[in-house]
Amino acid sequence: MKLILAIFFVFSFSQGFAQDAARGKGLYQKCIACHGEDGRGNAAEEAPMIAGQFDWYIISSIEAFKLGAERKNPKMLPFIKDLSNADIADLAAYISSMK
């Protein structure tokens, strides 16, 4: 069991380092209008606070919005529809680093 946990943590951290938060900051510029420069959200836009959220949660949320089956957001779709998996990972790395 300890070996499995050790492998899980090594894999988790290695995935985090593969993401490029600096590149994600550039991608985040499209998100500012709704989520705010600081990621604190905007009630008028019905955009939640995302700053500091776990990267895996941001990734799974964006993927769910792109698929449109489980989660739908017509306002957000034009901004995320063309993001690659690497783009999403980099964006998530930046968002999760926001304080």
Residue 99 exposed, middle or buried by CB count within 10 Å (0-12, 13-18, 19+): exposed
Domains present along the chain, CATH in parentheses: 20-97 (1.10.760.10)
pTM of the model: 0.78
What is the tens place of the pLDDT at every residue in 42-99? 999 999 999 999 999 999 999 999 998 888 888 999 999 999 999 999 999 999 999 8
- Dist. CA 38–CA 97, nearest whole Å: 11
